[in-house]
Structure 1
């Protein structure tokens, strides 16, 4: 009767009860299967994460709000996205919508920071539990989290050698990420890296002299405390990472210069600073710099255009206008000069150099505004006077190139000098190689 009623489109209490029972039984069976799978997984897993109940709850809430699986890599990726979003909103008109978006960025950033701290605290507990004999104090928070993630993923304890490999791989990934970020915002990136290397060298040398450590005499190492030795090791590692960054950047410049000047062998004899400036010039002018440009340097912006752009940036940077007017000024600049990359520091530095070359035309007032608005340090200017006389622990270091000592007003003269210097080195090297080959042939004949 119940089925007949259902076929006729009528409701039946009996059918409804039967359907509910079937659904209930289905759920019970599914829960039972899930419980069995969980028990099997717990028996096979050797390592248990060390989150507290409160931390688990907070991570679940963060994952739901952020709409992502919370791990260290995803946290960093989302943080980069938020920073880019924030940078774009800074140039937007003030509105209720902009205010809401800024608030959302702030809330999500707080959640990301909280999640990262939870992962760091859990990593400490995890390593203390499963690696009691490994000195985790020398590891950074990022390295600890990575060791934990690798241990859980591989479901096995890592040897000291394997932990070191995890740390090295993490450093490589971090360098690549840092380079990706910096290459999109890299005015005198080489110079800034070299200054950081000098600072690390200076701090290392101060600690060495303070404790009377002479690495040629191993017995003097005991003069320094464990804490200070650890600091010295960190400084050595920092310098090593910075040098890796320079090497990677040098390789990138080599690839770019090879595409720009495939028939010029002298490009291989440019210093990394010189390579950077050739690349910056190509990005700004949209063409390779040739010898013809040295006698007749290209000019991207006319006198009136330079004055207008300088004046606009001066108003923006000195707070002479409110946020609404500021956004309007930027929008007008973008419309009138669509190729001017307002968020690209390398591009703005090249504009600065071009304006300095025509400083007599634009006048001293605009030059002063240019200095104020673009805040470009003279290349090679030492901000820390102590760095000039610091004694480094690497006598082979060759970071202070005379190529850097100029104020930007003779940019093309510097590039021309760089070409002459590179060609001279190339010819000397080629001549030396020919002489070596000649001596080898003579020795062969004598035998």
Structure 2
């Protein structure tokens, strides 16, 4: 499509190394396989059964995978430049670029600006969640969710090791484990490694997103949770997350919805919880009231309320508008234990009140970016807007030159 003959030939060679036909769509499966292969090698190392040949195979495929990603990113950049020459794509991830191109191909026409923004919003909702779930095989969608699960598995593994006198430094103690306990120990080690890898993936993704938007912002002193919430703020507020909008922060926080748009949030979330819990218990429940409420809310607001990180920002806006008290808002994030026929289910665990206590909007960022941190963010956003303006001028200058060349030819 937009690859040179040499690049196509190189992809053919990479296909042989990766042992699959390489396409942008198939790379997601290969990434998942490499994640799990990495976990398997780490567990083998801990158990004293490390296979050097397998490790070399992994290294070779990982290198080929990264090169294939680079080539497809080049292709995506060329296609976007060709079909969307006026779009500013420097802050997009490779996944976002590919999603816009996929939507264009699916519809068979160029997208307008509103459609592009909608595709980008959905892509940002999905990208990290897809990566994490391909590794942990559990519905973990936040850093705190992964950290809490990791802590639990670490405690279980430590208890098993203490009970059976196991030491990772002394492989003989592992070899002496009865077959059932050894299988359980190996299973727990795999889950530990998966969760550790998930946290690493979270970190890599958030660092990339922050760097793309604010290249020189130093977040090395920020925890993974703080970085997650900065990216969440960028994504949730979208166009409102600019220097102009944040200049008067925290006195005037950024705003996504008007007060009248948020009036039914409390009723919608209360009705949704009642319906969801009734279904979990196996009780008869009518969805009509919930659906009727949903139709009265904006589609994007409904999506935000059901998003594992955006809900806290919506509730914070409700506090800021005087629609909800802090106590009422935090109730919508609280975990509810539900007894079902299959056992206990923790409803709302995705949001988890422990993750972020919701305050009024002026304090939301200050919990994580105190003091001069917000000034650094504002400086970055000011520079980003300057760079966008320069790039736009350059594209406008190049457009007439390109048209003149076409006329001469």
Which category describes the TM-score, using the shorter chain as reference length?
A: 0.3 to 0.5
Q: Which structure has the larger Rg over C-alpha atoms?
A: 1
Q: Which has the higher helix share?
A: 1
Q: TM-score, normalised by structure 2?
A: 0.46
